Structure 1
Amino acid sequence: MEKRDEELIHRLMENDPILRKYWEEHLLFEEQLEAFNKRIYLTPEEELEKKRIQKLKLAGRDKIEEILSRYR
């Protein structure tokens, strides 16, 4: 995400609980994916979980972009 977008998110989060929710989820998914990426080997179940998290993160990012477009 661009630095400009992150600054806008931080300004708007105080007044937009939906944006805050999606941003907090985005950060959580990012942490979870980093943990998977640090591992040398993933079981098939872990690979599926990683892909599921990636999809959720992408969907959340789309929602964040949609919200930000209303404020731009």
Structure 2
Amino acid sequence: MEEMDMELVERLVSESPKFRMLFEEHQLLEKELNEFEKKRYLTPEEELERKKIQKIKLAGKDEMTRLMRGYSISVN
């Protein structure tokens, strides 16, 4: 992310409980995905779980982006 975006993220994390929750969930999901990446092979169940986590993470990122845009517009 750009420096300006990171400043906005930090601000929203401190000011918006919803954004903070999404951000923390995003970080946890990233850690879970990293654990899958460490494995040489994934079982079919693990692969399904990995894909499920990716979808949840992407949906959360989309929501954070929406909140960031809304915040940017209301500030300007």
On whether the aligned pair clears a TM of 0.5, the verdict is yes
Number of residue equivalences: 71
C-alpha displacement at 1:8, in angstroms?
A: 1.1
CA distance, structure 1, for counterparts of residue 65 and residue 48 of structure 2: 26
Q: Which moved more, 1:10-19 or 1:60-69?
A: 10-19
1:22 matches 2:22: yes
3-state SS, counterpart of residue 14 of structure 1: helix
Larger C-alpha radius of gyration, 1 or 2? 2
Indicate the SS of the match to 1:21. Answer: helix
Identity of aligned residues (%): 48
Give 1:6 deviation, angstroms.
Answer: 2.6
The residue aligned with 2:47 is 47
**2-11 vs 50-59, which moves further:** 2-11
Partner AA of 2:42 in structure 1:
L
Greater CA drift, 53-62 or 7-16: 7-16
Structure 2 residue runs without a partner (length 5+):
none
Taking the aligned partners of 2:26 and 2:35, their CA distance within structure 1 comes to 14
- Which structure dedicates a bigger proportion of its chain to helix? 2
Q: Which amino acid in 2 is paired with 1:71?
A: Y
CA distance in 2, matches of 1:55, 1:39: 20
Counterparts of 1:1-72 in structure 2 under 5 Å? 2-3=1-2, 4-72=4-72
